[in-house]
Amino acid sequence: MDMEERERKKSGKVDSRAAHTASLPAGTVAKAPTYIPGLDDILEGGLPRGRTTVVHGGPGTGKTLLGLEFIYRGALAGEPGIFVGFEEPLDHLRSNAATLGWDLAVLERDRRLSLVEGRLKPDTVISGGFSLKGLLAAISGISRQLGARRIAIDALNVVLRFHETPKEVRNELHLLNDWLLSAGLTTIMTVRPSVGGSIPTFEDFFDSMSDCVLYLDVRVENQLSRRRLRVVKYRGSGFGSNEYPYVVTGTGLRIEPVSLVGLQHKALGAKMTTGLDRLDAILDGGFRRGSCILLAGLPGTGKTMFASTFVNAACGRGEKVLYVGYEESEAAVIGNMQGVG
């Protein structure tokens, strides 16, 4: 039994990595809603409150947007948050958010949200003097002032790659993990996949220290770009284990949990005549009210006449009909149908 397994048993946590679809009862873990449309349905209520979630994804997948939206929507819901960015300048974040209708400056003035720039200065990189201790001390002060409940740490691995040895990387991650546990903040950390080289990869360590792991990816199929989200781990909670499409809308992310949509359509109504007695006999009384009928055929087989007959029968019952034609004009349809009575 490895150390991580012993810790899980000792703490009572359940690792759902081995389950295709986790089946633990709802409510096992306290949840923090993301308020991102569709995502909370997949996560059965939200991210693990007071714990860490890691989001993996390459460039253009929306990692930064997901982390920022988690903080933004949480602030609107009364949970102050901190966004720490190691890649984009803060002015760029604010202007990008404004295109989605998010006024981050107002929330900053109201002390409901704080943006922290963690990008390294060139002289720091050259001297190799980077450490998270100073940054965490500053964030601790901001957290106390805001009464923060959430934090998003974007692209931390960008700066961790400046460390020369795997031991230095592990020490920094242990330091961060200990601080997050003591702070009790609901955390999102975004990670860009490694591209190889002499610098050691450490995505596995990110995953092991987190309670929830999400993967975002963009793929091109048949010359069409598609985004997908997948939950691969959620300790102590059930979750949707499929791949789910997501889009970036004019107001933020929207995930489409298509496999979780319940079938709640109304039952079809009573039979209604088609206007043709023999066709009604074949259909055992006609079409069901509320149904959708596809009538397909080659040119000249009478598709328009069938449709017009159905419309005429409905009008004969005193019902109103909307007829939409994409091929013939209104005058042509009326004239042709009058020609056959």
Q: What residue type is 339 in one-letter code?
A: G
Say how far apart CA 237 and CA 232 lie, in whole Å. 12
Average pLDDT by stretches of 10, the chain with 341 residues: 41 36 57 96 96 93 97 98 94 96 97 91 56 89 96 88 77 90 95 59 76 94 91 94 94 85 69 86 86 88 86 89 88 84 74
Q: Which residues contact 43 (CB under 8 A, 6 or more apart)?
A: 31, 34, 212, 231, 234, 237, 239, 240
Does this model's pTM top 0.75? My answer is: no
**What is the residue whose two structure tokens read 């609901």?**
186
Say how far apart CA 79 and CA 47 lie, in whole Å. 14
Q: What share of the chain is helix, strand, coil (3-state, %, to 5)?
A: 35, 20, 45
pLDDT at 328: 85
Catalytically annotated residues: 87, 327
Choose the CATH number for 3-260 among 3.40.50.300, 3.40.50.970, 3.90.700.10, 3.20.20.240. 3.40.50.300
Greatest distance between any 2 Cα atoms in the chain: 92
Say how far apart CA 287 and CA 293 lie, in whole Å. 8
pLDDT at 195: 57
Bin 205: left if φ > 0, else alpha if -120 < ψ < 50, else beta. Answer: alpha
pLDDT at 12: 41
pLDDT at 71: 98
φ, ψ of residue 228 in degrees (nearest 5): -135, 145
pLDDT at 146: 96
Looking at the chain, the number of H-run helices and the number of E-run strands are 13, 13
Say how far apart CA 326 and CA 333 lie, in whole Å. 11
Q: Where are the domains of the chain?
A: 3-260, 271-339
